[in-house]
Amino acid sequence: MTTGRARTREAVTDVMTEPQIEKVRGYCVLCTAHCATVATVEDGRVTRLDADHDHPNGGAICVKGKAAPELVYNSDRLDYPLRRTNPKGAEDPGWERVGWDEALDDIAARLLDIRERYGAEAVVMARGTASGTSTDDVNGWSSRLLNLIGSPNALSTTHVCNWHRDTAFSYTFGVPQPSPDVLNSGAILLWGHNPSSTQLLLAQDTVTARKRGMKIVVVDPRKVGLGSQADALLQVRPGADGALALAMVHVLIEEGRYDEEFVRDWTNGPFLLRTDTGEPLTEADLEAGGSSGRYVVWDGASNQAVVYDPATRAYLVGGVRPALDGTVRVSLKDGDAVSCEPAFAALARLAASYAPEQSEGVTRVPADDVREAARVLSGNRPVSMFMWNGVGQHTNATQTSRAISTLYALLGDIDALGGNLMLPMAPLRAVDGKEFISSEALSRRIGLEEKPLGPPATAGACAAHDVYTAILEDRPYPVRALINLGSNTVMSNGDPARGREALCALELGVATELFMTPTAELCDYVLPATSFLEMDHLVGGFRHRVDARSHVQYRRRAVDPLEERRPDTWVMFELAKRMGFGDDFWDGDVEAARSYQLEPTGMTLDEVKAHPGGVTLENPRRYRKYADTDGEGRPKGFNNPSGKVEIYSHRLAEHGFPPLPEYVEPALSPLSQPDLAAEYPLVLTNAKVTTFIHSQHRALPSLRKAAPEPSAELHPDTAGEHGVEHKQWMIVESPKGAVRVRANLTRRIIPGVVCVQHGWWQACRELELPGHDPFSGLGANPNGLVDAEHRDPISGSLPHRSFLCRVRPAHDA
């Protein structure tokens, strides 16, 4: 018997030493790339994350994704709902642990009370960016709840992130920037975007395409990532990108390297502009009863003015070959004549004033390099392109995006093989609940009056600086509650000190978070969220890789949530029930709601779950869909007022903004503020760090080892002029504030520029590395260097990437 027992124990020991290993397919949600992954789970613990190579969005994973298992088990993770017991701003918040039911009941009751006393618009919901948080999973549901509450006020960082990449691009093409078909491109233009750090799938595909001969043109003040391999690298002064784009437009036009047929047939470049007013000549100018919504071109064949009708996408007569240049006189209905020129000719004149030789002093890019880059693009079509944050965080960001998209329009490769393809996403049913909110409520969105073409109008999003004003000054009306869903609001926007003041003034602040962020510390309730490895989700399409746009996948959680962590989606459903919206939230049944989403695909939830790697729906590539015709032979055209790609933006003109992509210097630059620049002679910019995402993940040891301290890049010559040495602590100071960072001297950045890193606050306990007070007068938060007073007039973007600063050794502080 004794022997038998011993054998039994040995057998059990042998079993216990064999780990139970499971592979769970999914995708990483730490940034917008959504790289497909395979999680290894050993004995119920996720131990590693690898790339899923058998997935249309697979084949790559960055260091941040590989570190995601550390995110699950980090000792500083929030595990239980917490309630503040001391006043906001107190050194000790007095957090006490509460149950989920108690917390959600109280939050729901207080939200309803605030809505009753102040109106629904007094409730604001802030959401973390899809470009850098896993809250992309909950965006549809949070919008649904906010719309049911009746508030139009969703706070996001789109005004300094993706808005210029997408919506500003749409003011030229009528659609957000489509996915680049890089694997079929002859050349790719990367402008203000380093995919090696922020979108590894695009970097991987670019390298693959380069091996078979594709050319690369990069615009970046730093020689990093793919810029080191580029056939043409244009290291532009931050904020001067619009002038550079116009310089390249000039080369294309001057040297006849643009796609003349595309410009003639599919853009409004032929539309005549009156030289006396700069406005389009319309049918109403030519004849009594004519329409002001019909435009006029000069037909070179018949030598007369011809009317174009956007409603039919056609001229009123056939056989028209509109002129693109020259000046003509056109007789008006009152008998007078007016001088006119095509919009394309007006663009050519504008671009000529920024010819490479003339704008070199503005852009700091040698003229020969500009010409060569334009020739590389025009000589290696089809061209795809991608622009991002590097063009968006300036006071001239919208027109910069317009200039770049106009440059791309001249190449004629939109929706062409190897260009940027307009393909639909998988047809999941929208759940954002737009039907629940009135148009009157939407018209009261914070910031809409000031920015009628910006994010409040086109993206349904408010900017933090406008919300701060509503909280502190009751303009345009009071805001009393702010729900932060993975949004580290005070760290993600300019003027963090004012943000702190605003959050302290709220009646109710709530944060669902992974860690106790600076924003969460200022809230009344902090709710522990799950990481993406601890939550399920249904996705309908992946944004950036063309072949993955129609892929549907149910991402099963790799491990169950630890302690009392809960998914943001669950929190939204539970709040909805408590606020009386249960009927519109499937009575809290998330899986039933996902089945509802799936209905347009014809698949059931169980069918999708049966394919862990997802299902790719049929989505055949069709090119140049703008040329498709309807039953009456009318071409589809582009989703713009003119039905064309708009070199001349009719919407911008209607609201009093320059309709051509005019360049204006950044509000605080060496050229716009020479007196201030004498005191602050350097250009302040920032860039994302390969190891971190915005203000996240500095608590993860494997990542923090690679970048233990906040630093800033500057050229050795610049450092020498200001007495700064490599790896020395230095002060970076702007007219607004100062930070203390390590000097990283490198020749990969152009002289006269200082590139700081956004997001430093978090400590790393395992490595005993400190955190940094984001509100300190001499901390490491560069958002404190930038104010919200200077902003893009259309989007409200702040000059995080083109401000003025100076540097000095820290021992002089």
Question: Residue 16's pLDDT is what?
Answer: 56
Give the C-alpha separation, 441 to 445, whole Å: 7
Question: Residue 89's pLDDT is what?
Answer: 85
Question: Residue 619's pLDDT is what?
Answer: 87
Grouping H, G, I as helix, E, B as strand and the rest as coil, residue 708 is coil
Question: Residue 15's pLDDT is what?
Answer: 47
Question: Is pLDDT above 80 for 14?
Answer: no
Amino acid residing at 256:
G
Question: Is pLDDT above 90 for 397?
Answer: yes
pLDDT digits (tens, 9 = 90+) for 697-741: 999 999 999 999 999 999 999 999 999 999 999 999 999 999 999
Give the C-alpha separation, 120 to 109, whole Å: 14
Question: Is pLDDT above 80 for 123?
Answer: yes
Question: Residue 2's pLDDT is what?
Answer: 32
Query: What mean pLDDT comes out for the span 265-288?
Result: 97
Query: Residue 100 corresponds to which tokens in the numbers above?
Result: 């989920």
Give residue for tokens 């490595």: 767
Beta strands in 211-261 (DSSP E): 215-219, 232-234
Specify the range with the lowest mean pLDDT, choosing from 3-17, 270-284, 366-380: 3-17
Q: Which pLDDT band holds residue 17 (cuts at 50, 70, 90)? A: confident
Question: Residue 344's pLDDT is what?
Answer: 98
pLDDT digits (tens, 9 = 90+) for 514-544: 999 999 999 999 999 999 999 999 999 998 8
pLDDT digits (tens, 9 = 90+) for 140-154: 999 999 999 999 999
Q: Can you list the pairs that 613-616 forms with residues at least 24 positions away whose Cβ atoms lie under 8 Å?
A: 613/25, 613/36, 613/52, 613/54, 613/55, 613/553, 614/55, 614/551, 614/552, 614/553, 614/554, 615/551, 615/552, 615/553, 616/56, 616/547, 616/548, 616/550, 616/551, 616/552
Considering the chain, what is the average pLDDT of its residues?
94
Question: Residue 812's pLDDT is what?
Answer: 56
pLDDT digits (tens, 9 = 90+) for 74-113: 999 999 999 999 999 899 999 999 999 999 999 999 999 9
pLDDT digits (tens, 9 = 90+) for 632-670: 889 999 999 999 999 999 999 999 999 999 999 999 999
Question: Residue 19's pLDDT is what?
Answer: 85
pTM: 0.95
Question: Residue 10's pLDDT is what?
Answer: 36
Question: Residue 372's pLDDT is what?
Answer: 98
Q: Which pLDDT band holds residue 137 (cuts at 50, 70, 90)? A: confident
Cis peptide before 81 (omega within 30 of 0): no
pLDDT digits (tens, 9 = 90+) for 306-333: 999 999 999 999 999 999 999 999 999 9
pLDDT digits (tens, 9 = 90+) for 439-480: 999 999 999 999 999 999 999 999 999 999 999 999 999 999
Contact 229, 210 (CB under 8 A): yes
Across the beta sheet with 537-540, the strand order is 537-540, 551-555, 615-616
Give the C-alpha separation, 65 to 51, whole Å: 9
Question: Is pLDDT above 90 for 133?
Answer: no
Give the C-alpha separation, 262 to 412, whole Å: 6
The per-residue DSSP string of 739-766 comes to: EEEEEEE-TTB-TTEEEE-S-----BTT
Share of the chain above pLDDT 70, in %: 97
Q: Which pLDDT band holds residue 1 (cuts at 50, 70, 90)? A: very low
Q: 508-513 and 525-528: which strand pairing?
A: parallel
Contact 804, 673 (CB under 8 A): yes
- The residues pairing with 49 across neighbouring beta strands, listed in sequence order, are 39
Contact 723, 808 (CB under 8 A): yes
Question: Is pLDDT above 70 for 184?
Answer: yes
Give the C-alpha separation, 443 to 23, whole Å: 49
Query: Residue 738 corresponds to which tokens in the numbers above?
Result: 């100062």
pLDDT digits (tens, 9 = 90+) for 660-686: 999 999 999 999 999 999 999 999 999
Question: Residue 273's pLDDT is what?
Answer: 98
Give the C-alpha separation, 405 to 414, whole Å: 10
The residue with greater pLDDT, 272 or 130, is: 272
Q: Return all residues near 654 (Cβ < 8 A) that are at least 6 apart.
A: none
Question: Residue 785's pLDDT is what?
Answer: 96
Question: Is pLDDT above 90 for 32?
Answer: no
